[in-house]
Amino acid sequence: MGLDGYTRTCGLIGNPVEHTLSPVIHNYLAANQGENLVYVPFRVAQGRLEDAVKGAYALNLLGCNVTVPYKSQVIPYLADIDPLAARIGAVNTLVRQEGGFKGYNTDMPGLYRALVRDGVNIKGEQVIILGAGGVARAVAMLMAEKGADRIVILNRTIEHARRIAEEVNAYWKGAGRGGQLAEACALEDWTSLEGSYLTFQATNVGMFPAVTEAVLEDPGFYRKVHTGYDLIFNPSCTRFMGLVREAGGKAYGGLGMLLYQGVIAYELWTGRKVTDALADEVYKEMKARLSGENRAKEEV
């Protein structure tokens, strides 16, 4: 479908945005479904976020995604916020409504949808989260919401992990459940953990081009991991994933989460549903684009 006076625009607000795969997701979906929509990235300089949000609304944009470093910073400039996004404290999708944008978090529903597609059941699981940043906090909240039995947050700086554990336990208590669900451990204290865990790698360690790195290298740790999720999407197979598989576990990367957070945002903007079959087509397109870009960078 060609561009014309009826074409609606969506985009990505962030800094940097040059690496993004989001245009692949949204422009592929729009073309497949005959939606007169185009998606483009917008690099927003520090200090200009409020201008960007107001400008996007003034220019009649249908919606925007928001990426680092603005997922929390954008909240004061919204007309409304979805309860899940408010609880997580991060917004990655803006949906146009009367008077401004409403903020949503589609990252965690996107991760959950990817987990479901991969046959992973959270309820009753023991969970390890590596890292204690914003992504780790959101994953911890999702695990609590979906019925995990125990959440262990491992981080080099234990104070950061304790902060997340306290927030999760406050949510747990507020939901009328007894006991402590989450606990914090220093990274080196993984040896004290017993049992088998669903594990999330929520740091940027191992991200392209530093593909040989992992937060933990000891094979003993990975023997405790029955299923590992690395939330990094580039490379599509990280060092963490390789170590999980070498120890006999199942491993998945962050490309599925990236796909489904985009799918859910697209569904919010357009009101259309995306089938799993169509999502699989988009996934293949993303993987091909990612492989091509990495090869090009390595050849430079």
The two structure tokens encoding residue 275: 């089938």
Cis (ω within 30 of 0) for the bond into 209? yes
Sequence letter at residue 127 = V
Closest-CA residue to 108 (of 153, 81, 78, 145): 145
- Which of helix, strand or coil describes residue 250? strand
- Which of helix, strand or coil describes residue 95? strand
Catalytic residue among 71, 123, 287, 297: 71
Cis (ω within 30 of 0) for the bond into 109? no
Burial of 83 (0-12, 13-18, 19+ CB in 10 A): exposed
Angle made by CA atoms 44, 47, 52, in degrees to the nearest 5: 45
DSSP character for 223?
A: T
| 146 catalytic per annotation | no
Closest-CA residue to 259 (of 109, 134, 120): 109
Burial of 139 (0-12, 13-18, 19+ CB in 10 A): buried
Please give the positions annotated as active site: 71
